[in-house]
Structure 1
Amino acid sequence: MHACVANSHSAPTAPYRTSDQTSFAYVSARDRWPVILTQAIDDVFRTTRDHTDPEKIAEGKRIVEKLAKLKYEVQHDRVLSPIEDDGAADVKIYNDELEQLGSPKWFNVSWLYSECYLYRRLHSFFAPTKYWRDYDPFHAQKNSTFRASLAAVVELATRYKQIVTASHDDKEEVEVEKEKLLFTEMMEICLWGNATDLSLLTSLTYEDIQKLQGSKARKDAEANILANDLPKVFEVLRKAKESGKVSRRLDIVLDNSGFELFVDLVLAGYLLEEKLVTEVVLHPKCMPWFVSDVLPEDFTDLLAALEDPVAYFNASELTEEQQTGLKFLHSNWNGFYQSGQIRLREDRFWTLPGSYWRLPAVAPELYEELKTAELVVFKGDLNYRKLTGDAEWDPTTPFEEAIGPLGKKDSGMRTLALRTCKADVVVGLPKGKDEELRGEDVLSRKWGWSGKWAVVQFWDGKA
């Protein structure tokens, strides 16, 4: 990895900054980050209180002190200080870029860099310790939110089992149009699963979460997909299948754990069952990231939850049929995992501060591997921000232009963004659509912060 690519492989358009009071960047720095840090402080404090080992307690107290100091720096607009060396190579990348930025303060800095820096610095408090090095301060919060998703989990488990069982019972070749409709449904389930992003929706009630999930909510939201390239994606996967190609891999650059990871696996299992792909590679993060992003242990936790749903969800009211449906998912997905058809692939690139414009230069081995996939799916808002450089593009800018090197005709990579909008950056919209959605609020793009609108955008770099 090289630190010198910050300027040479970045979007030419200015990035969103925390100083722009009309942007969600400003709201994030001022309002969201102190709350997130407070939650991390509370979690570590409670965990420390429950331990008896003096050394572990002492380490926990030092972590709490560092978290509190970081929160103070954010709230009082202090200069971002270099990340302390915790032995990982990416510390130099962060600190070199910080030096290039010229001692910025929290309320006047690139949003993308500073938000990544926030979580990387937080991790540096845990990484050098003896007892806390692998601790995820957001783990309990992730589990709590997933448990609140039980109604939608049960609904989708039933639907998934119906689809998989029907496909096995149906001896006739499935009509292309029927297959396309089913593919579209599964992709849209995967898209809207992103609605429960913990870093944004920290105050959701159980009822709020249920309203965001389920088939009715998805049906109501279909008209809110502002750009939809799913028909192109279906044709690519269908043609690859019909060509008789033996190995057809799909990569998913994951976003949130819990319910969103659940729907990612619904999609992965469906594509494998229908033989639209032969292998699915999941790309989690290697450290706690943006509160709810998937870590490898979140994947194993989810499988364990489905294996014993009554215990995990604390739901004695689950019927035998519902329990059977959830356990069916465990058996099905664990089977794919054990056989290697679903596998996890970690890489530090996903937690670096820059955009994915840097992928070919900074992580060439990862880039070459992704090029061997039939399709690479980037889930969620942060991945979209990184694909587009989190830059102030005109909203009518073509998607392929905004994703830089990945948007070239010979990039060798098929890129699909599945994104519910929770930030200002957006591209590929029809002329006039942004103005229509803004309405009377001409100064800001608040419509793009809510998660009520989405884009599904595709670029074929293999064409």
Structure 2
Amino acid sequence: MEFDTKTPKSVTSDPKSFASESVRMRWPVILTGAIDDIFKAISSTDDAEKQAEGKKIIEQLGSLKYEMLHDRQLTPIPEDGFPDETAAYNKELEQLGNPTWFQVPWLFAECYMYRRLNTFFTLTNHWKSYDLFARQKTDTFRTSRNAVVELAARYADIIKKIRADKDITHDPETEKILFTEMCEVCLWGNATDLSLLTNMTYEDIQKLQGSEARKAAEQNILVNNLPEAFALLKKAQAEGKKERRVDFVLDNAGFELYVDLVLAGYLLNTGLATHVVLRPKSIPWFVSDVLPTDFAALLSALANPKGFFESPTEEEKVSEKTPAPLAPKEVEDLLYVFQDWATLHGEGQLAIRPNRYWTAGGSFWRLPHEAPELHEDLKQAELVIFKGDLNYRKLVGDAWWDATTPFAEALGPMGPGSGVNVMSLRTCKADVVVGLPAGKDEELRATEGGRWRFRCQKMGLER
């Protein structure tokens, strides 16, 4: 806490905040879904010991939900094999005065919930590596089929043209346009966040994806520094740097990871980057966040697109619906994408590098002090792309900044002088926002749906 911003943080006690809505409405729904998932998993096994452990997990989930709904105190996290982590969480819990659920900093409480939830599994014999959100992530990716197929065709067309005529990447205007399109695809992919879409139908989710949705949403980009990002990567390329790395601090699995890979593959195929490092979480986190296994699952789905996309989701099974077969051209494009990404991964250009610090309970203002080795590693990249709302909140300390505060200032120790080029691709969902022109925040709050219906791209280029 000593390295945090002194600007007041978002707290669950503010009745008008998204933090208050989260603890009272969103999180209990998420825990209910977790209980349903374990019930299904128990029914699919004949192992008596696993069933008994599963029933205990359900009891723990129910108790956590009860504590939350009745504003009980947050209790210490039991040691589960990572003593430094649990000690850090419990020390902060004590420093906060052992708060209740309705009277606690939002960022810490949300991270605490998922970290404590994980102990329910790690302290068992049969459920240690179980991802209780995997079923949801898989089903939601299946519902993204139309957008996945559309982007596969677009990606295959672009990459084939690049390989057939390298000159296409030497036309500055074409390069810039393609880079911008790929980054915007990567931004809009963040519209699918399972922790927020608890009350949406699959049809609602599909409307958030696809080219028409992207075109309609362009007016909602509030701050756009993509030209500076492009110039940064082009400069490194022109200087002939042998290794030009771009890191992705990942957010959601499924469709968002897919669009992250679209951008990553584009950067590698054009030479704007020579290496891409994907940085997933190490434990199930915020429902839909990427685990290393999610990367493998996505490649597996693309390697067998008919088997994956023609299988019904849980919802489709209940309603007895059967997905339409993929067209031969759709299968061809999806297999092309798989082969491209599998090759880049196999040759070491596309790497997976998890770090348990991404599931710590505090903001990234602490990162240079608490995780110096990780900080040094990030400094080796030309650009570090932080995906999603949680990473944005952590970057700016989840604090009540004035909306006109410069992004570089709100980054604190991760801003100017940190040695890290930070780019944030974020769908604006939480309360915190910085870098807006004077009067813009007030204008957005006055619109129907408020500021949360808009999107932000924010970027800092200071080292």
Hey, what does 2:320 align to over in structure 1? none
Q: For 1:292, which of 280, 288, 293 is the aligned residue? A: 288
Structure 2 partner of 1:152: 147
Deviation of 1:171 (Å): 4.4
Give the aligned partner of residue 239 of structure 1: 235
What are the ranges of 5 or more consecutive residues in structure 2 without an aligned counterpart? Answer: 311-322
2:318 aligned partner:
none
Distance across 1 between alignment mates of 2:123 and 2:462: 41
Q: Distance in 2 between matches of 1:207 and 1:57?
A: 35
Matched AA of 1:196: T
Instruction: Tell me, yes or no, if the aligned pair for 2:190 and 2:388 is still in contact at 8 Å.
Output: yes
Counterpart in the other structure of 1:3:
none
Structure 2 matches for 1:346-365, cutoff 5 A?
346-365=354-373
Could you tell me which residue of structure 2 aligns to residue 99 of structure 1?
Answer: 94
Distance 2:436 2:90 in 1: 36
| Residue 170 in structure 1 maps to residue 165 in structure 2 | yes
1:30-41 aligned at under 5 Å gives the runs 30-41=24-35
Matches of 1:205 and 1:60, distance apart in 2: 28
State the 1:214 CA deviation.
0.6
Q: 2:435 aligns to what?
A: 428
Asked if structure 2 preserves the Cα contact closer than 8 Å seen for 1:282 and 1:344, the reply is yes
State the 1:317 CA deviation.
1.5
The AA in structure 1 aligned to 2:333 is G
Alignment pair present for 1:78 and 2:72: yes
Whether 1:412 aligns to 2:424 is: no
Q: Which residue among 374, 380, 383 is the counterpart of 1:366?
A: 374
* Number of equivalences: 449
Kindly report structure 1 stretches of 4+ aligned residues shifted beyond 6 Å: none
- Kept in 2: contact 1:145–1:258 (CA 8 A): yes
Cα distance in 2 for residues equivalent to 1:241 and 1:352: 35
TM-score, normalised by the number of residues in structure 1: 0.95
Structure 1: tracts of 5 or more residues without a match: 1-5
Which residue pairs with 2:182 in the alignment? 186
Which amino acid in 2 is paired with 1:73? E
Q: Determine which of 436, 447, 450 is the counterpart of 2:450.
A: 447
The Cα shift of 1:122 comes to 0.2
Cα offset, 1:440, TM superposition: 7.5
- Cα offset for 1:205? 2.0
Looking at structure 1, the residues matched to 85 and 309 of structure 2 have their Cα atoms a distance apart, in angstroms, of 37
CA contact (8 A) 2:38 2:132 kept: yes
Deviations 1:23-47 (A, max 9, x none): 0000000000000000001101111
Of 391, 394, 409 in structure 2, the residue corresponding to residue 386 of structure 1 is 394
Deviations 1:233-288 (A, max 9, x none): 00000111111111000000000000000000000000000010000000000000
Confirm or deny: 8 A CA contact 1:406 1:461 kept in the other structure: no
**Among 242, 255, 258, which residue is 1:259 paired with?**
255
Structure 2 counterpart of 1:13: 7
Give the percent of matched residue pairs that are identical in Structure 1 and Structure 2. Answer: 57
CA deviation string 1:410-440 (max 9, x = no partner): 2111000000101000000000001111117
CA distance in 2, matches of 1:440, 1:181: 30
1:28 aligns with 2:22: yes
SS of the residue corresponding to residue 35 of structure 2 reads: helix
- In structure 2, distance between residues paired with 1:252 and 1:35: 29
Letter in 2 for 1:38: T
Question: How far apart are residue 203 of structure 1 and its match?
Answer: 2.7
Q: Is the 8 A contact 1:310 1:316 kept in 2?
A: no
Deviations 1:363-383 (A, max 9, x none): 000000000000000000000
- 3-state SS of the aligned residue for 1:298? helix
Deviation at 1:325, TM superposition (A): 0.4
Superposed CA RMSD: 1.1
Change (3 A) 1:10 1:204: same
1:85-126 residue CA offsets vs partner (Å, 9 max, x unmatched): 112120111000000000100011000000000000000100
1:220 is aligned to 2:221 = no
Match of 1:229 among 214, 225, 231: 225
SS at match of 1:227: coil
Q: TM (normalized to structure 2)?
A: 0.95
